[in-house]
Amino acid sequence: MHKEEVIERIREAFSATPYPGDPFLQGSFDGSEPFEEVGAFAGKSDWRTLDSKMLDARYCALDFFSEGGFRFFLPAYLVADLCQELLTAEPLFHLWHGFATVSADVAVGSRTFRRISGGNRLINPRRYGAITWSDYARHRLSSFVREEAQAIVAYLTYKREHGATDLDKSRIDAALKEFWSDRAENAPTHKEVEAHQQEEAEFYAALQGDVSLRGKQKSETAPPE
């Protein structure tokens, strides 16, 4: 696909993505930085109007968004990246990290340690137990519906075929194989998610009505004082 086609596909796929609401944009609450980064997006309920310079300046927000916040604002970063308007922000990293294994040798004194991130590497056992980077990535990225995942696959494929290094290609390949290709084929669609929400709303409305009716019937049959 040409770049313009990928951009149009992203815009179309995310046109129906709901804004989570200001109270639900922030996912991390460790320290003050998450609030400072994510807070800049409060009230910005149309991602299509966001300036690329603002997105680039708030590149750390991609780490601190909630799942819903990440899902809603990611397309703005993807389009800006395809238009080559980002100098610092790297949305591509957030789509492959966790599936590809990254390693480096770190010398400490007389010893050299092999440091690994991604894949089946444990994140922080004291805090997260047996959760791996792959587990975390799957949880975070499973917020995308099928149409959105298909647009992300188009973005990843375009990035792989246009200027990606061999290392980036291997990382993209790992993400596509381990997660995105299946997500683009089998994730719930927009309509299925909307149907679920409608059914849930009708169910709770019926419960509320039933409780109100039973309360009324009880008061009508209660003996006079």
Q: SS3 for 200? A: helix
Assess if residue 173 is contained within a domain: no
Q: Which of 35, 55, 89 is the last residue of a domain?
A: 89
Classify residue 144 by its DSSP letter: S
Judged by DSSP in three states, 30 sits in: coil
Question: What mean pLDDT is reported for the chain?
Answer: 92
Question: Per the structure, how many domains does the chain have?
Answer: 2
User: Among the residues of the chain, which ranges form H helices?
Assistant: 3-13, 33-38, 52-57, 61-64, 67-82, 91-96, 125-128, 133-141, 146-161, 166-175, 181-186, 190-221
In a domain? residue 176: no
Tell me if 130 is assigned to some domain.
no
Determine, yes or no, domain membership for 8. yes
Residues 6+ apart with CB under 8 A from 52: 80, 83, 85, 86
- Classify residue 128: in a domain, yes or no: no
The confidence score (pLDDT) of residue 158 equals 97
Whether residue 102 is predicted with pLDDT greater than 60 in this model: the reply is yes
Asked, for residue 74, whether it belongs to a domain, the answer is yes
Domain membership of residue 133 (yes or no) is no
Distance CA 157, CA 162 (A): 9
- Res 119: pLDDT: 87
What range does the domain containing 32 cover? 1-89
Q: Express each pLDDT in 37-56 by its tens digit.
A: 999 999 999 999 999 999 99
**pLDDT confidence bin for 188, thresholds 50/70/90:** very high
In a domain, 170, yes or no: no
pLDDT at 163 (0 to 100): 79
